[in-house]
Structure 1
Amino acid sequence: MQHYHYIFTGSGLSALMTVYELLLSGKFDDKSILLIDENTKKVNDRTWCFWDENNLFDEIVSKKWNQAVFANEKFNRVLELTPYQYKKINGLDFYELVFKKISEHKNIHFLNQKVVDFTELGNHCVVKTEQETFTCNKIFNSIYNPEVVTAQTKFPLIHQHFIGWFIKSKEAVFTPNCATFMDFSVEQKGNTRFMYVLPTSENEALLEYTLFSKDLLSKEEYESEIQKYIKNLGITEYEIIEKEQGNIPMTCYPFWKHNTKNVINIGSAGGWTKASTGYTFKNASKKSKALVQFLEKSISTSLDMTDFRKFHKKDKFWFYDLLLLDILSSKNELGSKIFSSMFKSGNSTVIFKFLDEETPIWEDLQVIWRCPKMMFVKALIKRLLKL
């Protein structure tokens, strides 16, 4: 039975981010590392977007926008994003970047198999695939188990679910330097529903029909709404170049309570997705850097003192997100009102900084005061009775 220092069960965004940070650190070259995933990561299966004022993975950013539109049925506002830019990364470009880096290190291996079980046994762990069994010192698990969340009612679960079409139109209707961040002018139908548009030229764009809600729709309903939106843009002829779809869990469930001394849950399995927005890429980058710094402080050349139960720190932003999800869980139709109140006249730089969880309390209040106060007061009272 082969033994490794670290085994990653799953090799999605957060796992690859963490391995990438381990390599950049240079302090883990003596650690044998195994990534196990049934997906070979050789296709462009998703895109990630994020706002950034630095150069985060700029070498693989495929498109940048300096402006973004927020709209509902009553107003349309163009947001100047400076000092941020809104950026897009294709999944395959990220996979290729990380696996090229991995190929330069003999201590890291990838296994294309399905993990069926893992467990901690005293001071070591066991990982089983459909074909083999391995032992290791530490497990980094990114395999999301929805039953962990659905089996309880204390913390709500909402899905960010969407279908997107990348189209090329006959008419030049898009503004290449301006993304549509949220367009709530679409019919809400008792939910939080919006269109998300990422133009790459005057006649090419990705259009995603997106919901923050408990229940998913039929494929036909998503695509029918995309067709309506395309027609309303004045497009009469177009071809669909590519399609994508996704379902991102949005919850403040305390996944970290399932961490043990030698097993840590990362990615969606660890609550690394920003609960109030579903954004993942920037959060995964921050969390992976923090995790590697935590490991660096916990290890020495002769002794590994890492205890994953000590990694997570709960903060104010977790509680802010929890209140929003409480509201959307009970009254899902209020999403447009809440987000519109923030973006109608608020300072967009402060809002994005707030959503990045980088604001001090006085900037938190600049955003919070713009939200409908009574619904949050009621949510606060109900939540305090639950905690």
Structure 2
Amino acid sequence: MQDRTSFDYIIIGNGLAGLQLALELSKDPFFKSYTIGLIDPSLKDTNDKTWSFWEQGAGKWDSIVEKIWHSATFESPNVSLKIPLQNYRYKTIRSIEFYNYAKAQLLDCPNISFIVDTVETIETGSTTQVIGQKQNYSATHIFDSRVPDKFYAPNFQHTLIHQHFKGWIIETDSPSFNPEAFTMMDYRFQYKDSTSFIYVLPFSETKALVEYTFFTPFTVETAVYEDAIKRYLLEEHNMAHFRIIETEVGTIPMTDFPFWKFHTKNITKIGTGGGWVKGSSGYSFKHTEKNVAKLLANIKAGKRPSYNLFKKKFKFYDKIFLKVLHDENEKGVWIFERFYSKNTIRTMFRFLDEETSFSEDLAIMKSLFSMAFIKAFFKVLFKF
């Protein structure tokens, strides 16, 4: 199967979206006779990121979940909150565990081929061709997770906030963390007048991921992240000495760029390249799971895979939020203070999961009502 170059489906990119899609295709009897090629330049054999998400009760990924939390904290100069998650659970997965799990499932499937190659372009004509550095491949339909080139164009006309971060997984010799609650945001360590915060996932009393995260139109030097983490550990935990066992660095685009416009009859954009990262939060794990399910349902119903993937009202809400952060980035701490202190955990998570009714949306809007949002609303409405 490794020598095959012609497929029914090709998936470009063995990241979160590509592998979740491949897993669901492999489990569904409808696709049993379809040949599937997964192309990626990497073997996916290192831990390159951490995915976290919330859900109610047990879930399909629990066998590879690193840690589950039942409560959260939120801190700012003005607010200190302890947030019981009620029926929800906050879960984290190391990417290497996900990659290993997916590969173990898929390598046993005779209709699935893993291909290590770098895709240079896609050519459409009588057949759809994937042009790789090593060789070319053909498919009836292609699922492409690469970000469109136009996203990087100098005449970029859409709002872009960079969610950029650096984190350390650290170990200590003595108990230093409360493993029962994770820190969603701690704004007491802001960088100047920006939306920047400490995020902590305590795996045990002596081990935690401590991350410094920005939601900003700009990026910063490495020292900014590291100095903030060190200051947090010293001031909050009286910790001057610790062991760094892993480092995590990343940038996630939070944007209203219209990724969905790049779908064609034979090409469906997925993952980050398909706009599956939620613009106002940067979360993607559960959105990916939902979108994969919709893709398969659409195919089996004879529709385009990308049919009706997104809810327009939530795209509009994301546009407003991103406009506020872009134009008045210092408002971020106030926004999240209000969001977490004025709403129930159920309403907040349902809103971020794009499952709320309009009455629930109004409750969220009321909690965030301000001149900044009014101005952003009209700028977005009239494309100012």
What TM-score comes out, normalization by structure 2 length? Answer: 0.95
> 2:352 matched to which residue of 1?
355
User: Contact (CA 8 Å) 1:150, 1:157: kept in 2 or not?
Assistant: no
> 2:312 matched to which residue of 1?
315
**1:115-134 superposed matches below 5 A:** 115-122=119-126, 124-134=127-137
Q: Which moved more, 1:331-340 or 1:167-176?
A: 167-176
CA distance in 2, matches of 1:56, 1:230: 34
Choose from 19, 22, 28 the match for 1:19: 22
- What does the per-residue CA deviation read over 1:186-217, in whole Å, with 9 as the maximum and x for residues that have no partner? 12412110000000111211000000112221
Choose from 327, 333, 338 the match for 2:335: 338
User: Contact (CA 8 Å) 1:42, 1:95: kept in 2 or not?
Assistant: yes
Matched, 1:97 2:94: no
CA distance in 2, matches of 1:173, 1:74: 24
CA distance in 1, matches of 2:149, 2:134: 25
Q: Which amino acid aligns with 1:370?
A: S
- CA displacement at 1:149 relative to structure 2: 5.1
- What does the per-residue CA deviation read over 1:156-204, in whole Å, with 9 as the maximum and x for residues that have no partner? 0111110000111234231101000011111241211000000011121
User: Contact (CA 8 Å) 2:39, 2:116: kept in 1 or not?
Assistant: yes
**What stretches of structure 1 of length at least 5 have no aligned partner?**
299-305
User: Contact (CA 8 Å) 1:341, 1:372: kept in 2 or not?
Assistant: no
CA distance in 2, matches of 1:152, 1:342: 33
- CA displacement at 1:35 relative to structure 2: 0.5
Q: Which amino acid aligns with 2:82?
A: V
Choose from 3, 6, 13 the match for 1:3: 6
> 1:203 matched to which residue of 2?
206
> 2:176 matched to which residue of 1?
173
Q: Which moved more, 1:125-134 or 1:168-177?
A: 168-177
**1:1-387 superposed matches below 5 A:** 2-54=5-57, 55-122=59-126, 124-145=127-148, 147-148=150-151, 150-233=153-236, 234-298=238-302, 306-308=303-305, 310-386=307-383
Percent identical among aligned pairs is 35
> 1:301 matched to which residue of 2?
none
Q: Secondary structure at the match of 2:203?
A: strand
Q: Secondary structure at the match of 2:334?
A: helix
- What does the per-residue CA deviation read over 1:2-36, in whole Å, with 9 as the maximum and x for residues that have no partner? 32111111111101111111122221111111010
User: Contact (CA 8 Å) 2:230, 2:240: kept in 1 or not?
Assistant: no
Q: Which amino acid aligns with 1:31?
A: Y
User: Contact (CA 8 Å) 2:298, 2:305: kept in 1 or not?
Assistant: no
Q: Secondary structure at the match of 1:137?
A: strand
Q: Which amino acid aligns with 2:61?
A: F
CA distance in 1, matches of 2:80, 2:373: 25
- CA displacement at 1:58 relative to structure 2: 0.9
User: Contact (CA 8 Å) 2:67, 2:93: kept in 1 or not?
Assistant: yes
Q: Secondary structure at the match of 2:31?
A: coil
Q: Which moved more, 1:244-253 or 1:185-194?
A: 185-194
Q: Secondary structure at the match of 1:27?
A: helix
Q: 1:313 to 1:174 in 2, by over 3 A?
A: closer
- CA displacement at 1:335 relative to structure 2: 0.9
Q: Which amino acid aligns with 1:278?
A: G
- CA displacement at 1:86 relative to structure 2: 0.5
Q: Secondary structure at the match of 1:185?
A: helix
Q: Which amino acid aligns with 1:289?
A: A
> 1:303 matched to which residue of 2?
none
Q: Secondary structure at the match of 1:127?
A: strand
Q: Which amino acid aligns with 1:345?
A: K
Q: 1:151 to 1:259 in 2, by over 3 A?
A: farther
Q: Which amino acid aligns with 2:196?
A: R
- CA displacement at 1:119 relative to structure 2: 2.3
CA distance in 2, matches of 1:324, 1:345: 17
Query: RMSD of the TM alignment (CA)?
Result: 1.6
Count of aligned pairs? 379
Q: Which moved more, 1:244-253 or 1:340-349?
A: 340-349
What TM-score comes out, normalization by structure 1 length? Answer: 0.94
Q: Which amino acid aligns with 1:239?
A: R
CA distance in 2, matches of 1:5, 1:89: 31
CA distance in 2, matches of 1:179, 1:49: 11
CA distance in 1, matches of 2:204, 2:187: 23
- What does the per-residue CA deviation read over 1:328-370, in whole Å, with 9 as the maximum and x for residues that have no partner? 1111111111111111232122111111111111111121211
Q: 1:212 to 1:120 in 2, by over 3 A?
A: same
Q: Secondary structure at the match of 1:343?
A: helix
